[in-house]
Structure 1
Amino acid sequence: MVVPGIMGSELHDTRTDKAIWGLANGSWLAKAWLSPQGLDGLRLTPEELAGDYTRVRARRLLRFPAWSPFLRGFEPYHKLLRTVEDTVAHRDAVMAFPYDWRLPVAVNARRLATEARDHLQRWRAHPAHDEARRQAVDERPARLVFVAHSMGGLVACAALTLGPDSDLAADTRGVMTLGTPFKGSVVAANILNTVQGGPLPLPHRRLAAAAATMPAVHELLPQFLCVEDGLDVRHLTPADVANLGGDKDLFGAAEDFFATFHSTLDLPQLWPVVGTRQDTVQSMKLVDGVVHASEYSFRTDTDGTVKRLPTGAPRRYNVWGDGTVHRESMPAVPQRAMPVFAQHGAMANGKDARRVVSDFLLRDEPLGPDQAEDGIGLTVPDYVTPHAAWDCVITGTDDPAEVQCTVTALDGGWETVARHEAVDDGKLSTEIVLPGEGLYRVAVKADYGPAVTQIVFSGPAGYEDSV
């Protein structure tokens, strides 16, 4: 079962017979993010908030690159699917699970549990299954393997621990999660806060208005100590969420869900893949309802007290992440965490993660990536305007000769090689100017380690300033 992340499934409005998320090109994205009604179809209606989920249908996994404020670029899943299909005994053994990523995790988990059981039964009745079974140890029948990206990991784990099929976990050999925010992400607070967050591009405010109605976004809010409040460090509260622009009731429901979810998250089959060495927000301050996110986190001793400096101030730790999810937003199995150098939206598409997935499918105990391998980080803005310079920063090296950076228009009409210069110890930077609107992919490759990519959206500088 291949389970995508948030915004990783195409969504179709069955009442208007129109796609509301997931089309083929940057012009559709510009219309979605910049036109007055571009995201109206994504907002949950009162009927949906009351539990009627018949309006929207998830048709398939994302097929083309997409973009969202703060979450940035989303690469499609065809490379991951091809890797899985090329590894298993027969392509019919593979099933993709598109889902309405706006809805509560528990809703999608229940549907995944049902569809996974049906898929397993179909595969066990497949002629190719008998041949594959003869090659298995003790000729054991097939079991399920879940490969899940981002929020899809929450859906997969909830299907096994909280779903209606109590035997599903026993019929599952493994769950590999790629960049899953088991304890949430500060990025979700940024998403909801953009209504109040000062002069930001219109797409950010469009997303905030839609996200304020989405249970799933509230379930991605941090469930760890992240709010820096003077000399105190505390959890986010429903009152905080309402203050920053979210829905306190949706967050309260999210807290109730995670209280149960984390208490049951004891899956020996779970193997998390985590991103590393990418600049990632890990904590925040709330000042007059505005989120000020920081790229450091806090740690506690076994008794729950925050580790502090001799001055009494909380100690700050940078644990990095994948640009969206920091490394410590994972379940209590850090000894199994397999690091890869990748941005969040591109992780499932990357060569290193796909190699780990292939190994996971073939072995009972995945080896994971080479731990001695090193890599680089990439930091770019999520939204830029044509003909205006912006900074492209590479971390992990201060030798320009070690890296190659290309910027390519996804429509194939333009490409440039960016030349970086050292600006600090372990940091390179350069200014880039894009020739027009659309989606652009920034790809950085060092002489060592894997390539890192990110998608940048180039949009107009002027537009109607209304949500």
Structure 2
Amino acid sequence: MAKDVSHDAVVIVPGIMGSSLQDTATGRIVWGLRTGPLRKAWCRRDGMAVLQLSDDERQGRFGRIRATGLLSVPAWAPYLKGLEPYGDLVEAVHAVTADRAAVLEFAYDWRLPVAVNGALLAEAARRHLTDWRGHARSRAHPDEREARLVFVAHSMGGLVTRAALTHAPDLEPDTRAVVTLGTPFLGSVKAAVILNGNRGEALPVLPKRRMQALSATLPGVHDLLPGYRCVETGLDVERLDPAVVERIGGDRELAEQSQAFRDSQRSAGRPLPAHRALVGVAQPTVQSMSVENGVVRPQFHAFELNGDRELARDRHGIPVRKDRGGDGTVYRDAAHPGTGQGQSVAYVPLQHGALAKNSVALRHVRAVITEYEPELGPPMGDGEVGLDVPDCAAPHAAWWLRLTGVDNPSGIACSVHDAETDRRLMTPRLEWRDEEIGAWITLPEPVLYRVRVNTGANAPITQLVMGVETDEDD
């Protein structure tokens, strides 16, 4: 029996913070650190300063930082919570390609504008396809056609892929399919929350201050800002403009550049070839916001539109609000640019980071890579269980893990694991509290943990949580 593999060339494009970065002057790895050094970097006063964009870099003089590979260890960042490594995705792709040479792992400096990385991806993808077409094993297609490209892109990687295909239209006929996993095509309100820092919190949290200071310098973060109507102002809902971005803590110039780039992408109107969007659902997700005295108030609801693309209102003239959910980072309706000929959307109840790691998502990716017909969907998991955990927690202090979408804890198992070894450390008991189902969790030490909720289906829900002690420089 022949092995079910594809003879096409595959390009894996990670999301923001999904590539390890190195300081070219010192040779020091500055992103992609293991848990201990990573935690210390977030808690030191200058720990993330090396990643801030310099004046030279803002002028387009790059090279101070270079990407060395896809993220290979679990990472953590405030607001983004856990960032899972891409090893499982890479191996899943290798399992269904004719040769390891058919796969390109495109690491990139995620701090830079999506437009810059899109141009670099276009060049890398063309070289990769040319090299693979020269490989003997690329010419074994059952239909004897020439090898083409398949892009597999997680999160911001989907935006980079779209930018690459817009930058180099000649790539489009050579692209058989594009798979996106949780890509914020319409942006994410969480990017605005990050730029706002911890202004809305009573107590300062050092890692969040570091994340805000870093993000305010990064074009990559500004490229993730929401482009849909998401700012509630009384009885109206407006788009997030650069002036408001500056008021909440972002950079006005970067916001203006990002908006102009996104407008150009929209006006190009080029759908991704044979696009397969995998969208996370059923997780508590920030979908809109209000701004009060420069403080972002996240809101877990979106606003419905009518057939004229205007706000739907009830009989009192109040905008209709609905909790549409998402993957915990990207609101579900922002994770695909719409459906059309050759486009498809599949929904899975997974958190954002797990979309590039979970077995259901990986089966979907493998099915697209090996598909014969243009419309194949993934094997879907059962259930609509959502998981809500904090970014970080102090060791020895109890916190509440909340489940949504369930009314009975029967058949649901919760466990806490060491994120690096996946060794199970505890199995908390689920219980009722204030009409919610959840569990009290106490972390034993300041390391990175993975919380896993198994519903009995084939898609456990996972999320990373960092154990962080009191600010180390206080």
TM tier relative to shorter chain: over 0.9
Tell me which of 273, 282, 294 is aligned to 1:277: 282
Instruction: Give yes or no for contact 1:195–1:245 (8 Å, CA) kept in 2.
Output: no
The whole-number CA distance in structure 1 between the counterparts of 2:381 and 2:136 is 43
The whole-number CA distance in structure 1 between the counterparts of 2:442 and 2:468 is 13
Is the counterpart of residue 339 in structure 1 residue 347 in structure 2? Answer: yes
Q: Secondary structure at the match of 1:82?
A: helix
Instruction: Give yes or no for contact 2:394–2:468 (8 Å, CA) kept in 1.
Output: yes
Query: Alpha-carbon deviation of 1:370?
Result: 4.4
Is the counterpart of residue 33 in structure 1 residue 42 in structure 2? Answer: yes
State the partner residue of 2:6.
Answer: none
Name the aligned partner's letter for residue 179 of structure 2.
Answer: M
Name the aligned partner's letter for residue 382 of structure 2.
Answer: E
The whole-number CA distance in structure 2 between the counterparts of 1:424 and 1:149 is 36
Query: Alpha-carbon deviation of 1:37?
Result: 1.4
Q: What per-residue deviation string (whole Å, max 9, x for no partner) do you get for residues 95-140 of structure 1?
A: 100000010001000000001000001000001112x23x2x2x10
Instruction: Report matched runs for 1:382-421 at 5 Å.
Output: 382-412=391-421, 415-421=425-431
Cα distance change of structure 1 residues 414 and 348 upon mapping to structure 2, 3 Å threshold: closer
Query: Alpha-carbon deviation of 1:269?
Result: 1.8
State the partner residue of 1:301.
Answer: 306
Is the counterpart of residue 201 in structure 1 residue 218 in structure 2? Answer: no
Is the counterpart of residue 217 in structure 1 residue 227 in structure 2? Answer: no
State the partner residue of 2:438.
Answer: 429
TM-score of the two chains, using structure 1 as the length reference: 0.95
Q: Secondary structure at the match of 2:332?
A: coil
Instruction: Give yes or no for contact 1:109–1:158 (8 Å, CA) kept in 2.
Output: yes
Instruction: Report matched runs for 1:37-186 at 5 Å.
Output: 37-130=46-139, 132-133=140-141, 135=142, 137=143, 139-161=144-166, 163=167, 165-186=168-189
Instruction: Give yes or no for contact 2:431–2:438 (8 Å, CA) kept in 1.
Output: yes
Cα distance change of structure 1 residues 424 and 261 upon mapping to structure 2, 3 Å threshold: farther
Q: What per-residue deviation string (whole Å, max 9, x for no partner) do you get for residues 158-197 of structure 1?
A: 1012x1x331011000000000000100100110001533
The whole-number CA distance in structure 2 between the counterparts of 1:116 and 1:369 is 26
Instruction: Give yes or no for contact 1:89–1:128 (8 Å, CA) kept in 2.
Output: yes
Tell me which of 262, 267, 270 is aligned to 2:266: 262
Cα distance change of structure 1 residues 387 and 372 upon mapping to structure 2, 3 Å threshold: closer
The whole-number CA distance in structure 1 between the counterparts of 2:162 and 2:464 is 29
Q: What per-residue deviation string (whole Å, max 9, x for no partner) do you get for residues 12-34 of structure 1?
A: 010122111002x2111112100
The whole-number CA distance in structure 2 between the counterparts of 1:410 and 1:238 is 38
The whole-number CA distance in structure 2 between the counterparts of 1:50 and 1:361 is 39
Query: Alpha-carbon deviation of 1:411?
Result: 4.9
Query: Alpha-carbon deviation of 1:271?
Result: 1.3
Q: Secondary structure at the match of 1:5?
A: coil
Query: Alpha-carbon deviation of 1:311?
Result: 1.7
Instruction: Give yes or no for contact 1:376–1:449 (8 Å, CA) kept in 2.
Output: no
Is the counterpart of residue 457 in structure 1 residue 453 in structure 2? Answer: no
Is the counterpart of residue 192 in structure 1 residue 192 in structure 2? Answer: no
Instruction: Give yes or no for contact 1:282–1:295 (8 Å, CA) kept in 2.
Output: yes
Instruction: Give yes or no for contact 2:24–2:65 (8 Å, CA) kept in 1.
Output: yes
Q: Secondary structure at the match of 2:437?
A: strand
State the partner residue of 1:241.
Answer: 245
Q: More deviation in 284-293 or 265-274? A: 265-274
TM-score of the two chains, using structure 2 as the length reference: 0.93
State the partner residue of 2:8.
Answer: none
Query: Alpha-carbon deviation of 1:366?
Result: 4.3
Query: Alpha-carbon deviation of 1:252?
Result: 0.7
Cα distance change of structure 1 residues 463 and 332 upon mapping to structure 2, 3 Å threshold: same
Query: Alpha-carbon deviation of 1:424?
Result: 6.4
State the partner residue of 1:441.
Answer: 450
State the partner residue of 1:323.
Answer: 328
Unaligned runs of 5+ residues in structure 1 are: none
The whole-number CA distance in structure 2 between the counterparts of 1:385 and 1:372 is 33
Instruction: Give yes or no for contact 1:375–1:446 (8 Å, CA) kept in 2.
Output: no
The whole-number CA distance in structure 1 between the counterparts of 2:102 and 2:424 is 39
The whole-number CA distance in structure 2 between the counterparts of 1:279 and 1:320 is 6
Cα distance change of structure 1 residues 121 and 437 upon mapping to structure 2, 3 Å threshold: same
Aligned residues: 457
Q: What per-residue deviation string (whole Å, max 9, x for no partner) do you get for residues 287-317 of structure 1?
A: 0000000110012223232111222111101
Q: What per-residue deviation string (whole Å, max 9, x for no partner) do you get for residues 134-155 of structure 1?
A: x2x2x10000000000000000
Q: Secondary structure at the match of 1:401?
A: coil
Instruction: Give yes or no for contact 1:386–1:434 (8 Å, CA) kept in 2.
Output: yes
The whole-number CA distance in structure 2 between the counterparts of 1:448 and 1:423 is 25
Q: Secondary structure at the match of 1:10?
A: strand
The whole-number CA distance in structure 2 between the counterparts of 1:449 and 1:241 is 41
Q: What per-residue deviation string (whole Å, max 9, x for no partner) do you get for residues 16-55 of structure 1?
A: 22111002x2111112100111101110000000101111
Cα distance change of structure 1 residues 30 and 348 upon mapping to structure 2, 3 Å threshold: same
Cα distance change of structure 1 residues 168 and 322 upon mapping to structure 2, 3 Å threshold: same
The whole-number CA distance in structure 2 between the counterparts of 1:443 and 1:258 is 36
Tell me which of 8, 32, 35 is aligned to 2:18: 8
Query: Alpha-carbon deviation of 1:414?
Result: 6.2
Work out the percentage of aligned pairs sharing the same amino acid: 45
Q: Secondary structure at the match of 1:167?
A: helix
Q: More deviation in 257-266 or 11-20? A: 257-266
Instruction: Give yes or no for contact 1:340–1:369 (8 Å, CA) kept in 2.
Output: no
The whole-number CA distance in structure 2 between the counterparts of 1:35 and 1:342 is 32
State the partner residue of 2:5.
Answer: none
Cα distance change of structure 1 residues 270 and 424 upon mapping to structure 2, 3 Å threshold: farther
Instruction: Give yes or no for contact 2:178–2:273 (8 Å, CA) kept in 1.
Output: no
Q: Secondary structure at the match of 1:253?
A: helix
Q: More deviation in 396-405 or 452-461? A: 396-405
